[in-house]
Chain A
């Protein structure tokens, strides 16, 4: 009974949020920009064709960087807009728990990004036509990409709950996500390795998105990497819940 109610509530929120993207130009602008940027970076910057390799590494390595800017843009409205328009007052006085609302919102945005990711399938068709790529790593890379989008998204939805301004939410979220990317990026770890104690170095590079993403993209679905992404998501969503509850108590 209780779980049925929870499922129903999450479903209602999910449906509203997801159709909310497609009811406004946001969805179409996002998908088009996402695909254009990916195409531009893959073909012009990374010179996909000139590489002469039938794999999608040059394609996937751009994902975190594009997500860095586009995912916070998808997430920024999730709470900030509710707060600005006053609809937050309604949603929080409906017979739903804050957890249900957060999960519904998060899943809607995540699935939306998943849909955008799905539209990159011509890339897979292209490499399959040109050569004989290994499908396993490609599939893994998609999973990794989707998971890292989810992690960025959880940061974005959390910052969105901090403010009624979508711009502030966006900027704060990009900064936090940038930290997560840079934390595992070799240039940063190299700089640190000269003086920082080894445990700190390890901690920071373990915090980074990239080291986890790279191992997934190699085609290794390690439980630890999955656990990493899911714990980042869970942590951010819990923080989000605490922020909303605190706002309520003011």
Chain B
């Protein structure tokens, strides 16, 4: 288990990380979200022992990162932001170096390196020097470095940054496959990514932890969660609005776009945890509306994110 206890960091007089505490158990993938400059990387750097915290500490599998730093660091695999790798080394040479640092020797080390190269799809470039590699390969080389010793705890700072959609997918699969026996913290600012891989999400804004919840609960905070979006053909929008507004389960109706007699509308229910699709359908049926498409909104993470971190206004408010 990773236990982060009251981590605080000042840069000069500026408080960059403000009293952050949370726990991550094995089997969990914790998504670390926040706008740029919110303190995500700084927090990760303190957990991995690169920065000394101004206050608080992190305990990794029972080892305090301040008091028992070396044994705590042994348990961690870390992928820093921008995936730094020595440019003059070959992929093989670099991973061999990392394996040696991690205490592997002899044939065991060779085997480790080969296996990791295999796992991270680096076989075709293994004797190339790192500075000849594309961003995606570099990212994977650094990722390989973080898992070479099969650590119990993985800390990944923007692991899919700079990868193309296929590579992103591969890396996410890899992370998910490993998640059973590891505790993983990954930071990202791609919301779909958090949604796709994380079992829990933490949002940091201005150095403070503002949300610690599951992605699906996060969605429920969205203004559009539970709303029904419809496209209708050949009807008068105003008539539609007044007709729907009469229903007692409807809170409000909004016309999203109009194109002649075709229009798109969103119906917000009174209680957004209650499924209202069937009610919408029967209401449409009763009033002879011709429905082209209908969908129930799950909630938009980007909107929740913006509302919470307060850097903009929600896309579609009620």
Chain A residues packing against B (C-beta within 8 Å): 5, 8-9, 11-13, 15-16, 19-20, 23-24, 85-87, 89-90, 92-97, 248-250
Q: Which residues of B contact A24 (CB under 8 A)?
A: 88
A19 to B49, CA, bound (A): 28
Pairwise interchain contact A89-B88, C-beta atoms closer than 8 A: no
Task: Answer whether A248 and B52 are a contact pair too, CB < 8 Å, given A8-B105, A9-B101, A95-B70.
Answer: yes
Q: Which residues of A contact B88 (CB under 8 A)?
A: 20, 23-24
The answer to whether B285 has its CB under 8 Å from any CB of chain A is no
Pairwise interchain contact B11-A250, C-beta atoms closer than 8 A: yes
The answer to whether B48 has its CB under 8 Å from any CB of chain A is yes
Main secondary structure of the interface of A (DSSP, over half): helix
Pairwise interchain contact A96-B50, C-beta atoms closer than 8 A: no
Pairwise interchain contact B80-A89, C-beta atoms closer than 8 A: yes
Shortest Cβ distance from A94 into B: residue: B101
Q: Which residues of A contact B81 (CB under 8 A)?
A: 86
A20 to B81, CA, bound (A): 23
Q: Which residues of B contact A13 (CB under 8 A)?
A: 101
**Assuming A92-B50, A94-B102, what are 12 further A-B pairs, CB within 8 angstroms?**
A5-B103, A9-B101, A11-B100, A23-B129, A86-B81, A87-B84, A87-B86, A89-B45, A95-B103, A248-B50, A248-B52, A249-B52
Q: Which residues of A contact B98 (CB under 8 A)?
A: 94
A90 to B79, CA, bound (A): 8
The answer to whether B76 has its CB under 8 Å from any CB of chain A is yes
Can you give 10 contacting A-B residue pairs, CB < 8 Å?
A8-B100, A9-B101, A15-B97, A19-B93, A20-B86, A86-B80, A87-B85, A93-B49, A94-B98, A250-B52
The answer to whether B22 has its CB under 8 Å from any CB of chain A is no
Q: Which residues of B contact A23 (CB under 8 A)?
A: 88-89, 129
Q: Which residues of A contact B101 (CB under 8 A)?
A: 9, 12-13, 94-96
A24 to B129, CA, bound (A): 11
Q: Write the nearest CB–CB distance from B195 to chain A, whole angstroms.
A: 28
Pairwise interchain contact B76-A93, C-beta atoms closer than 8 A: yes
A155 to B142, CA, bound (A): 32
* Contact code string B123-163 (vs A, CB < 8 Å = 1, else 0): 00000010000000000001001000000000000000000
Task: Answer whether A93 and B78 are a contact pair too, CB < 8 Å, given A5-B103, A8-B100, A86-B84.
Answer: yes
Chain B residues packing against A (C-beta within 8 Å): 11, 45, 48-52, 70-71, 73-74, 76, 78, 80-82, 84-89, 93, 97-98, 100-103, 105, 129, 142, 145
Shortest Cβ distance from A9 into B: residue: B101
Query: Quick one: which of B50, B85, B97 contacts A93, CB cutoff 8 A?
Result: B50
A97 to B105, CA, bound (A): 19
Pairwise interchain contact B73-A93, C-beta atoms closer than 8 A: yes
Pairwise interchain contact A93-B87, C-beta atoms closer than 8 A: no
A89 to B317, CA, bound (A): 43
A19 to B74, CA, bound (A): 25
Q: Which residues of A contact B80 (CB under 8 A)?
A: 86, 89-90, 93
Task: Answer whether A97 and B86 are a contact pair too, CB < 8 Å, given A15-B97, A86-B80, A92-B50.
Answer: no
Pairwise interchain contact A95-B48, C-beta atoms closer than 8 A: no
A132 to B50, CA, bound (A): 58
Q: Which residues of A contact B76 (CB under 8 A)?
A: 93
Shortest Cβ distance from A86 into B: residue: B84
Q: Which residues of A contact B45 (CB under 8 A)?
A: 89
Pairwise interchain contact B48-A93, C-beta atoms closer than 8 A: yes
Pairwise interchain contact A12-B73, C-beta atoms closer than 8 A: no
Pairwise interchain contact A85-B86, C-beta atoms closer than 8 A: yes
Pairwise interchain contact B145-A90, C-beta atoms closer than 8 A: yes
A248 to B97, CA, bound (A): 23
Q: Which residues of B contact A86 (CB under 8 A)?
A: 80-82, 84
Task: Answer whether A90 and B102 are a contact pair too, CB < 8 Å, given A85-B84, A95-B70.
Answer: no
8 shortest interchain CB distances as A-B pairs: A86-B84, A12-B100, A249-B52, A95-B74, A95-B73, A87-B84, A93-B48, A89-B80
With a 10 A CB-CB cut-off, give which of A19, A86, A89 has the most chain B CB atoms: A89
Q: Which residues of B contact A94 (CB under 8 A)?
A: 73, 98, 101-102
With a 10 A CB-CB cut-off, give which of A92, A93, A97, A249 has the most chain B CB atoms: A93
Q: Which residues of A contact B78 (CB under 8 A)?
A: 90, 93
A95 to B48, CA, bound (A): 10
Pairwise interchain contact B84-A92, C-beta atoms closer than 8 A: no
Pairwise interchain contact A89-B73, C-beta atoms closer than 8 A: no
Q: Which residues of B contact A90 (CB under 8 A)?
A: 78, 80, 84, 142, 145
A86 to B71, CA, bound (A): 23
Q: Which residues of B contact A15 (CB under 8 A)?
A: 97, 100
Q: Which residues of A contact B93 (CB under 8 A)?
A: 19
Q: Which residues of A contact B105 (CB under 8 A)?
A: 8
Q: Which residues of B contact A85 (CB under 8 A)?
A: 84, 86-87
Q: Write the nearest CB–CB distance from B80 to chain A, whole angstroms.
A: 4
A94 to B129, CA, bound (A): 22
With a 10 A CB-CB cut-off, give which of A8, A95, A249 has the most chain B CB atoms: A95
